[in-house]
Structure 1
Amino acid sequence: MSPETERTLTAGAVLLAYVAFCGLVAWRRARRRRLAALPDSAGDRAPVLVAYASQTGFAEELARRSAEALIAGGVPARIAPLEALDADTLAVAGRAVFIVSTTGEGDPPDHAARFVRRVMGHKAALGDLDYGLLALGDSGYARYCAFGRQLDAWLQTQGATPIFDRVEVDDADGGALRHWQYHLGKIAGVSEVPDWAPPRFAEWRLVERRELNPGSPGGAAFHLALEPMEGSAEWQAGDIAEIGPRNAIEALARFPPYFAEALADRMLPEDPAELEGLTPEQAHERQKPLPHREYSIASLAGDGRLELVVRQARHPDGRLGIGSGWLTEFAPMGSPIALRLRSNRGFHAPEEDRPMILIGNGTGIAGLRAHLKARAAAGRRRNWLIFGERTRAQDFLYREEIELWQAEGVLTRLDLAFSRDQPARLYVQDRLREAAGALREWIAEGAAIYVCGSLEGMATGVHAALAEALGHEALEALAEEGRYRRDVY
């Protein structure tokens, strides 16, 4: 074959490949437009799969709302956690929407780890799947929305077609959530979708505040108690309290200058003249919302009040953080606190009476304390607490309660790790390794493992120690069964 002929054939092959590629792109674009434009009916279409991966319950809540929005538009929908799906299920789903969060430094939620390894770790034939994806994240972390992006890339690599571009939500941003609702409306074939109502914060009264660890080498930790200003409230052990620092303009005068300035930057318009002539109520409406903070609840509804453990956060120059500073120092006793209760089903106790191993450090004692209170009230006494902090003398949080539970038999076993009380650092994961034999016995007897506290250091170290003692596959199986649960931050 002459060089000229070879060049001609090569050019022809390239041209054909290019034409085929352009045709594929045009077909997929047309398919996306057609899917977005055509209404659906409940009678002749398979349900839209609404899949979620949630660490603290927010993604699961949005999945429920998304399904309700589709159903309200006449489109059947079914909800499933990500770990309940496999490649075959996705291949025949037809249409799906995914709502997934990212935890830690770019990791999938705990319950999704099995899906990542067993499904995303392999190829899948998803050419018939059309999907939308909502990625939840926090831009304060380096790997923002990393799991959502990873899932999106994998789906497209396996041949799935995105109905619209991935929607990313930074710290529950309302604008991004409304954009997601718009796309749900297009799937449902409706032009108008009512905005999801913003979370409703009730007024609670701060009734107690005391420092739990005076003299600690670490940050000051406070026990706080709040009562609802109207009616009563219900929650379970494992649930979360969302709190916004009080943002009344008249309160600025009580704060030190740096704190008032930080609040004003978030609360006030750029031109103060915009507030002139407004009533206090109108001025309040003009304020920009402050960021919400989430805290594990340390008490039960039956206690009659909601209790929290809040550690003061400080900037490198010593200034207090806005959220913890307001709660632990500047909010007057009796003052109203804006608070919303949020169910965190991923950290609820098992329904059956099985042993519990509760592991945590620092302010993570809050979530563990609520579970121990519930266990004591229910007469479930097979409990093992592994808790760590800096020093026994200053940082043994709720020491009297814990020792009483031990004396009464609510705690079958108690292991403590105070890192600064000996020359070599000692942490809860070290206690776990020392007790690996007992750990395996408890798991064999059906125990569930609950971890609450800091993600960096403690939770990762505990996970590694558990995997060493039980094996990675066994630990994944426990997570899938709901016997390994975490509330870490």
Structure 2
Amino acid sequence: MILTIDPVRLGSALALSGGYLAMCAAIWRARASARRSVSTGTADWLVVHATQTGSAEYLAERTAETMRTGGLSARAACMSELDAGALGSATRVLFIVSTYGEGDAPDSGARFAAQTMGTTPNLSHLHYAVLALGDSSYTNYCGFGRALDGWLAAHGATPLFDRIEVDRGNGDALAEWQHHVGRLAGTSDAPDWEAPGYGDWRIASRVLMNPGSAGAPLYRLGLVPLDGALPDWEAGDLAQVSAPLDPDHPREYSIASLPGEGELALMVRRQRREDGSLGAASGWLCDHAMETDVIKLRVRAHGRFRLNGNAARPLIAIGNGSGLAGLRALIKSRIDAGKGDNWLLFGERNAAHDYLCREELQGWLAASRLAQLDLAFSRDQSTPRYVQHLVREHAQVLRSWVEEGAAIYVCGSLQGMAGGVHEALVEVLGAERVEAMTLEGRYRRDVY
């Protein structure tokens, strides 16, 4: 019998095999680079952070600086760079970790939580401390920090001092951590880790974006400083607002505009509590604050959601609701840089009332500033249709964009949307590809 080979099928098989090997190589390089960045370090103290919005990273950098002020060798590192091998060679580690959703690890700590914390290493050589950042309004307050602390202790690691928990940036808890770090470093000269002060702003414009919506009202606020000088920020950054009724716990909002547009724009959903009262911050911003009232606001860099090294890559932006604020700024930044390879997949309730920024998005699409715009309105048909359905429906195109180097940014609600989109991406791209993109910084999320 003569064996014949179809050259078309052979070419397809070779291409498929080559693509698979290339993907495996990318994953291996990302993991190897991450391992090298931790294991080849010479610092005596490692300050490991796991963050979603940048707070833990900021505190880790301040902690490492304090250690160095005392003459110690210390450096900060992302938990995504830490694996069982690197942990096995470390002797002194300070962990600063936030909790995401209902007790989960943030994105930068997800791989460590799923893989390393699933092992049973001997950590009797390790001395550690944990600073857990959280929000007591959630059921599993500081859930990831508590789980990490318990796992370390259960495997023989020795705590340097008791776990410190920080409720929504509580200053007393942060001062206690700084005190312990200062004692470890043998110095009391380190400056306090105070966040930048609030500036005085005013509301220049306030527009209801979804009149007639079945959902809660969503307002676009345009704010300007009272002194007339806009601070600098980048697409992806956040604004912290201190509300008069609850000044101790600032609310964070994605910034929807760029400095060149002449104002700082927010998209704020007016919240109601179970008793019918308005949210302390959203109710004030959306209903009660007048143009003459002073808005206490400060800008906070959100490095994990900036474009950074992804600025030249095609952008796949995915989100829902007020998450359009962060995505809009990212897309506008690339448009201003002359980049038109932008794809927005966005979901809301009804097209008639919740098609946010309709004219602008349609204008960008017509001018080829958006290469593709796909929308899902969940209440416009008998069967709910969400943004994660768009991911599956456009699977082939999405894979093609990713093969061409695209980055994926997700912004919007944690409940429902973020998990659904992540599952859809894993289904479409494969778990290894999604993990590789996360390690490379090509898959980023700002969800709440």
TM-score bucket (shorter structure): 0.7 to 0.9
Partner of residue 440, structure 2: 481
Select which of 221, 230, 233 maps to 1:232. Answer: 230
Select which of 280, 288, 304 maps to 1:322. Answer: 280
Matches within 5 A, 1:287-302: 289-302=247-260
State how far apart, in whole Å, the 1-side matches of 2:102 and 2:194 are.
Answer: 30
What is the percentage of aligned positions where both structures have the same residue? 53
1:194 shift after superposition? 4.3
Please state whether the residue corresponding to 2:396 is helix, strand or coil.
helix
State how far apart, in whole Å, the 2-side matches of 1:350 and 1:196 are.
Answer: 26
Please state whether the residue corresponding to 2:333 is helix, strand or coil.
helix
Unaligned segments of structure 2, at least 5 residues:
1-41
Contact 2:84 2:116 in 1 (8 A): yes
Partner of residue 458, structure 1: 417
Q: What code does the residue aligned with 1:311 have?
A: R
Partner of residue 215, structure 1: 212
1:192 shift after superposition? 6.5
State how far apart, in whole Å, the 2-side matches of 1:442 and 1:192 are.
Answer: 51
State how far apart, in whole Å, the 1-side matches of 2:435 and 2:333 are.
Answer: 26
Q: What code does the residue aligned with 1:367 have?
A: G
Partner of residue 426, structure 1: 385
Distance 1:399 1:97, change over 3 A: same
The alignment status of 1:388 with 2:347, answered yes or no, reads yes
Q: TM-score, normalised by structure 2?
A: 0.88
Select which of 121, 127, 133 maps to 1:130. Answer: 127
Please state whether the residue corresponding to 1:80 is helix, strand or coil.
strand
Contact 1:222 1:310 in 2 (8 A): yes
State how far apart, in whole Å, the 2-side matches of 1:315 and 1:157 are.
Answer: 40
Q: What code does the residue aligned with 1:450 have?
A: Y
Partner of residue 378, structure 1: 337
Please state whether the residue corresponding to 1:351 is helix, strand or coil.
helix
Please state whether the residue corresponding to 1:111 is helix, strand or coil.
helix
In the alignment of these two chains, the number of paired residues is 405
Q: What code does the residue aligned with 1:297 have?
A: I
Contact 1:383 1:410 in 2 (8 A): yes
State how far apart, in whole Å, the 1-side matches of 2:380 and 2:156 are.
Answer: 56
State how far apart, in whole Å, the 2-side matches of 1:198 and 1:358 are.
Answer: 30
Contact 1:416 1:428 in 2 (8 A): yes
Of residues 464-473 and 363-372 in structure 1, the stretch that sits farther from structure 2 once superposed is 464-473
Select which of 246, 266, 275 maps to 1:308. Answer: 266
Q: What code does the residue aligned with 1:240 have?
A: L
Q: What code does the residue aligned with 2:344 have?
A: L
Partner of residue 368, structure 1: 327
Contact 1:202 1:339 in 2 (8 A): yes
1:198 shift after superposition? 4.3
1:334 shift after superposition? 3.7
State how far apart, in whole Å, the 2-side matches of 1:46 and 1:455 are.
Answer: 36
Matches within 5 A, 1:192-203: 194-203=191-200
Q: What code does the residue aligned with 1:59 have?
A: A
1:191 shift after superposition? 5.2
RMSD of equivalent CA atoms = 1.5
Select which of 39, 61, 80 maps to 1:83. Answer: 80
The alignment status of 1:447 with 2:406, answered yes or no, reads yes
Deviations 1:357-387 (A, max 9, x none): 1001110000000011101001111111001
The alignment status of 1:243 with 2:241, answered yes or no, reads yes
1:335 shift after superposition? 2.4
State how far apart, in whole Å, the 2-side matches of 1:77 and 1:229 are.
Answer: 41
State how far apart, in whole Å, the 2-side matches of 1:170 and 1:383 are.
Answer: 38
Please state whether the residue corresponding to 2:219 is helix, strand or coil.
strand
Contact 1:113 1:476 in 2 (8 A): no
Q: TM-score, normalised by structure 1?
A: 0.80
Partner of residue 349, structure 1: 307
Distance 1:129 1:441, change over 3 A: same
Unaligned segments of structure 1, at least 5 residues:
1-44, 248-262, 267-288
Partner of residue 435, structure 1: 394
1:316 shift after superposition? 3.0
Partner of residue 141, structure 1: 138
The higher radius of gyration belongs to 1
